[in-house]
Structures are given as structure tokens and as C-alpha cells.
Amino acid sequence: MRLSTKVLVIGGGPAGASAARFLAGNGVDVILLERNPFFAKPCGGGISLGVFDELHIPKSSIKKVVKAIWLISPRGEKLEIEMKGVGLAMVERKEFDAILRKEAEAKGAQIITADFKGVTQNKTYIAEADSNGVKHEFSAEYIIAADGINSKTRTMLGIKPSRSFFTESERIEDINTDACEFWFGSSHAPLAYSWVFPAAGGVSIGTGTFQAGAIKALFNKFKERKGIVSEGQQKVYRIPVWTGDLFNKGKVLFAGDSAGQVLPLTYEGIYYAMKSGELAAQAIIEDDIEAYRKRWKARFQKRFLLMKRLRDYFLKDDASAEKLVALHRRPEIREASLRLWIGKDNSKDSIMSYIRLFGKFLH
């Protein structure tokens, strides 16, 4: 059987579900394929609270609102930052993604549980998918590839995979925290940080590195440093490294992790996936693909470049990470960071004031 649609969205995570919701909400015919509606993406699940109003996401998906961040330096200096007026909402990804897909469905998107297998192009795109051994075909004028870091769409179209950052994470049930903890130190998180975030029934802990072979040992070193002996289910998963060069190939538009849109330094991707899904959808509605690249760059390019430079400077060694934590003892730096990162203040003033404060470290 072949189904025809204006837009086929591949992947029902934050990027795909947001794109489908936006398209359907604007009266566009859209089908979304999700291969596993029960997929629980390994993820800290931290999203700036303000994003829920900005993107009209049901707040019923929030499990906890965190009002404090801890930065722990490589030497063990702890800085507690209170988030006044802003906060981090913690979500459970299996439930959160399902709510986003339900929202898309309520607006009129057709959601189909099927595994995308391949695509060919004739007058339209013809995509193949498998649903419990049954083959489906879809004909679409546009495709939004929102199939994550392992994007099959990307491979099928001959685009090389993005460079990866490797993470290992675990749920631990006999520990609790009310803060989002960021632990710096090259012994367990070179060029990165390790984290302890509140999560349902305990905490989510994890660490990251660019060296695939080192991740297990680094994760164990972090647990040792933090003094965690209990064991949960450990998961290794990749995060794409942002390069900013992939938006579309023909009428296939890439959004979220499939396009590598994860913020350097914080490795935050949920908001950018949802926003990119919407921007890609908007460009399709206007039948102006280039508008996607233009709007994304106008809105996020400076922030992504800034975060990349800060990461390369402050996370390059322990002495620099020590400096990063120490600098955040200054109220003006704390406020600028919260405004830019948690408050999602994208104004030129906010970015310029940040650049002024960190100017001497940025090359």
C-alpha cells in the first residue's frame, strides 16, 4: 500500500514531533514515522523552564523543577548557583516524547509506528518503511529527517555521519539531589563534564568524552570520585558534534540530532531539536527551503559559535575548568550565563555582554 502526503517526518523524538505538530497545526498534510513509541532516549531530560511557554508544551510533562545548579571544579571547589526567576524542568523522555507526538496527532498529524528503511526520488520522494514485517510505501513532496544521531536518512542520502561525543549514563535509585550538578575534571570528563541530575525515583548520572574507547573507564572514575557504589542500568549513547553545515539536501530537511544541532559546552539538544523542527516546518509551509537555514543561523549561529569557543578554552585542561568555576563566583558572570543558557535570551545585547565578560578568553 502506498500513502501520499505533503510531508513525511522520519522520527518522533522532540524534533520530529514538533515539526509534525507545527505542520498539522497549519493545515499541512503530514505523516510521522516512529519506529519505537516506547523508546526511552538516554538523556538527562533537562529543559529550560521558559521553553514550555515559548513552545506551548504541556507542563504536565514536567517531573520536577530544579532551582539550583552546582558547579564542582576539578579540585573539588563547589559553587551553588541559585536560578532566580528561571529554572530547569526535568522530564522523563519516554513520556515527554509521547506527549509531543500526541499533541501532533491532536492537531491532525498521522502517526505511524514503522521503521524507515530507505528512500528513492522520482517526481516525489518514495520512502519505504517496515511495520512488524509489513512493508509500507509513502510518497511525499518533502521529508523532514528527524531520526536522531544514527540517522538512516542521512546515510541513505550519502551524507557522512556527524562526529560523535560519547556518553555513558545510569539511573541510580538510592541517591537524591535537588540540584543539577556539573562535575568538571579531566580524570573523568576530558573536554566535557560529568553530571548528576534529579530523575524519577533517584538520579541520572553520566559522563562524556570524544574518545570512544575511554568512556567506560571515565564513567567508573566519576562514580569513584562521587563515591557512588550502587549499580543501575548503564547505557552508552552518542551525541552529535555541531558543525552547522547541514540543513537540507534537496527537499529533505534535517532537524535536531540528525543535523548535529546540539549546543557545544552544555550538550543541550532538546530545545534546539524542537525549535529546528518548527523552523524546518515553517520553511516548508512557505515553500522556501532556504528560509530554514537563514532563520536558524539568524537565531542560533552566534550562540553556538560562542559556546564552542568557551568549551575549547575552558574545558581544555583542569586549570581552565578551575577558572570557569571561579569566574562564576562573580555575580555579573553568573547572571550573564543564566540569561544566555537557561533564559534563552537571544538578544544581541545578551550575547555581546557575554562576549565582553569573556572577551579576554575568546580567540
Ligand X SMILES: Cc1cc2nc3c(=O)[nH]c(=O)nc-3n(C[C@H](O)[C@H](O)[C@H](O)COP(=O)(O)OP(=O)(O)OC[C@H]3O[C@@H](n4cnc5c(N)ncnc54)[C@H](O)[C@@H]3O)c2cc1C
Number of residues that bind ligand X (CB under 6 A): 38
**Contact, 358 vs 310, CB < 8 A?**
yes
**101 vs 334, which CB is nearer to ligand X?**
101
**72 vs 259, which CB is nearer to ligand X?**
259
DSSP conformational letter for 200: T
By CB under 6 A, name the one of 152, 223, 311, 339 that touches ligand X: 152
Q: What are phi and psi of 299, to 5 degrees?
A: -85, -40
**166 vs 354, which CB is nearer to ligand X?**
166
Q: Residue 119 interacts with ligand X (CB under 6 A)?
A: no
Q: Residue 273 interacts with ligand X (CB under 6 A)?
A: yes
Q: How many CB atoms lie within 10 A of CB 84?
A: 10
The rounded distance, in Å, linking the Cα atoms of 303 and 204 is 27
Q: Which residue has cell 555541531?
A: 242
Q: Compute the chain's Rg from CA coordinates.
A: 20
Give which of 4, 9, 49 is closest to 276, Cα–Cα.
9
**124 vs 258, which CB is nearer to ligand X?**
258
Q: Residue 343 interacts with ligand X (CB under 6 A)?
A: no
- What is the nearest approach in angstroms of ligand X to the Cβ of residue 7? 15
**267 vs 358, which CB is nearer to ligand X?**
267
The rounded distance, in Å, linking the Cα atoms of 9 and 314 is 38
> Alpha helices of 136-244 — where are they, by DSSP H?
152-156, 215-226
- What is the nearest approach in angstroms of ligand X to the Cβ of residue 164? 10
**Contact, 124 vs 140, CB < 8 A?**
yes
**115 vs 322, which CB is nearer to ligand X?**
115
Query: Which amino acid, 326?
Result: A
The rounded distance, in Å, linking the Cα atoms of 363 and 346 is 21
With CB under 6 A as the contact rule, which of the stretches 41-49, 76-84, 295-303, 318-326 interacts with ligand X? 41-49
By CB under 6 A, name the one of 103, 170, 181, 257 that touches ligand X: 257
By CB under 6 A, name the one of 22, 96, 116, 358 that touches ligand X: 116
| Site of interaction with ligand X (CB under 6 A) | 10-16, 33-36, 39, 41-47, 115-116, 146-148, 152, 167, 169, 206, 237, 239, 256-257, 262, 268-271, 273
